[in-house]
Structure 1
Amino acid sequence: MDSSAKPILVTGGTGYVGGRLIPRLLAGGHRVRALARSPERLHCRPWGGHARLEIAAGDALDRDAFVRAARGCGAAYYLIHSMNAHKGRFADADRRAADNMVAAARQNHLSRIIYLGGLGQQNHEALSHHLKSRHEVERILQAGPAPVTNLRAAMILGSGSASFEMLRYLVDRLPVMITPRWVRTPCQPIAIGNVLDYLQGCLGVDQTVGQTFDIGGPDILTYRDLIHMYAREAGLRQRLIIPVPVLTPWLSAKWVHLVTPVPASIAQPLAEGLSIPVVCRDHRIRNLVPVTIMDARQTIRNALARIRQEQVDTCWFDGGGSLPPEWTTCGDADYAGGTVLGGAHRIVLEGDARLVWSTVRTIGGKNGWYFAQSLWRLRGLLDRMVGGPGLRRGRRHPSDLRVGDGLDFWRVIALDPPKRLLLLAEMKTPGDALLEFMISPQGTDKVELKMISRFLPRGLAGILYWYALLPTHRWLFEGMLRAVARKTGLPVTHGPEKAAMTSALECRL
Structure 2
Amino acid sequence: MSQQPRTVLITGATGYIGRRLKDRLLKQRELSLRLLVRNPDKLRPDVRKKLAVLQGDTFNTASLDQALADVDVAFYLIHSMAGGHDYAERDRLSADNFRQACIRAGVKRIIYLGGLGDKETASEHLLSRIETGEVLSSEPEKIQTLWFRAGVIIGAGSASFEIIHHLTQKLPIMLTPRWVTTKTQPIAVDDVLSYLEQAISVEIQGNVQIDIGTQATDFRGLMEQAADSMGLQRHLICVPLLSPRLSSYWLTLLTPVPHSVASALIEGLKSETLARNDNAQRYFPTLHPVALDDAFQRALQEMEDNQVLSRWCDSSAEGTCDISGKESINKAVLRDRRVFYFEPALQHEVFESFCSIGGSNGWGAYDPLWHIRGLIDKIFGGVGLSRGRRQPEALRVGDALDFWKVVDIEADKRLLLVAQMKLPGKGWLEFVMDDDKLIQTAYFYPEGLWGRLYWYSVMPFHFFVFRSLGRLIIEQARQKKSSSDVV
Same fold judged by TM-score > 0.5?
yes
- The answer for the alignment partner of 2:59 in structure 1 is 61
Contact kept in structure 2, 1:7 and 1:31, CA below 8 Å:
yes
Contact kept in structure 2, 1:61 and 1:100, CA below 8 Å:
yes
Q: How many residues align?
A: 470
- The answer for the alignment partner of 1:314 in structure 2 is 310
Structure 1 residues 209 and 354 mapped into 2: Cα distance closer, same or farther (>3 Å)? farther
Residue 4 of structure 1: how far off its partner (Å): 5.2
Q: 2:243 aligns with which of 243, 248, 253?
A: 248
Contact kept in structure 2, 1:411 and 1:425, CA below 8 Å:
yes
TM-score by length of 1: 0.88
The 5 A counterparts of 1:352-501 are: 352-441=346-435, 447-489=436-478
Q: 1:109 aligns with which of 97, 106, 109?
A: 106
Residue 449 of structure 1: how far off its partner (Å): 0.8
Q: 2:257 aligns with which of 262, 281, 291?
A: 262
Contact kept in structure 2, 1:67 and 1:100, CA below 8 Å:
no
Residue 274 of structure 1: how far off its partner (Å): 2.0
Residue 178 of structure 1: how far off its partner (Å): 1.3
**2:29 is equivalent to residue 25 of structure 1:** no
Secondary structure of the residue that 2:16 maps to in structure 1? coil
Tell me the amino acid that sits aligned with residue 303 of structure 2.
I
Q: 2:194 aligns with which of 191, 194, 197?
A: 197
Question: How far apart, CA to CA, are the structure 2 residues paired with 1:274 and 1:404?
Answer: 28
Give 5+ residue unaligned stretches, structure 2.
481-487
1:18-75 residue CA offsets vs partner (Å, 9 max, x unmatched)? 000011111122111111111110135xx51342x11111133333332332223221
Secondary structure of the residue that 1:280 maps to in structure 2? coil
Structure 1 residues 106 and 3 mapped into 2: Cα distance closer, same or farther (>3 Å)? farther
Q: 2:288 aligns with which of 286, 292, 299?
A: 292
Residue 176 of structure 1: how far off its partner (Å): 1.3
- The answer for the alignment partner of 1:235 in structure 2 is 231
Residue 222 of structure 1: how far off its partner (Å): 1.3
Structure 1 residues 490 and 156 mapped into 2: Cα distance closer, same or farther (>3 Å)? closer
- The answer for the alignment partner of 1:76 in structure 2 is 74
**2:6 is equivalent to residue 13 of structure 1:** no
Structure 1 residues 266 and 490 mapped into 2: Cα distance closer, same or farther (>3 Å)? closer
Residue 341 of structure 1: how far off its partner (Å): 2.0
Residue 312 of structure 1: how far off its partner (Å): 0.9
Secondary structure of the residue that 2:94 maps to in structure 1? helix
Tell me the amino acid that sits aligned with residue 233 of structure 1.
S
Secondary structure of the residue that 2:225 maps to in structure 1? helix
Tell me the amino acid that sits aligned with residue 467 of structure 2.
E
Structure 1 residues 449 and 196 mapped into 2: Cα distance closer, same or farther (>3 Å)? same
After superposing on structure 2, the runs of 4+ consecutive aligned residues of structure 1 that deviate more than 6 Å are none
Aligned-pair Cα RMSD in Å: 2.0
Tell me the amino acid that sits aligned with residue 55 of structure 1.
V
Secondary structure of the residue that 1:345 maps to in structure 2? strand
Contact kept in structure 1, 2:210 and 2:280, CA below 8 Å:
yes
Question: How far apart, CA to CA, are the structure 2 residues paired with 1:229 and 1:3?
Answer: 41
**2:39 is equivalent to residue 38 of structure 1:** yes
- The answer for the alignment partner of 2:125 in structure 1 is 130
Question: How far apart, CA to CA, are the structure 2 residues paired with 1:235 and 1:326?
Answer: 43
**2:348 is equivalent to residue 347 of structure 1:** no
TM-score by length of 2: 0.92
Query: Percent identity, aligned pairs only?
Result: 38
Question: How far apart, CA to CA, are the structure 2 residues paired with 1:66 and 1:456?
Answer: 34
Question: How far apart, CA to CA, are the structure 2 residues paired with 1:358 and 1:291?
Answer: 42
1:102-127 residue CA offsets vs partner (Å, 9 max, x unmatched)? 2321321211100001111223xx32
Tell me the amino acid that sits aligned with residue 179 of structure 1.
T
Question: How far apart, CA to CA, are the structure 1 residues paired with 2:473 and 2:205?
Answer: 55
Residue 208 of structure 1: how far off its partner (Å): 6.0
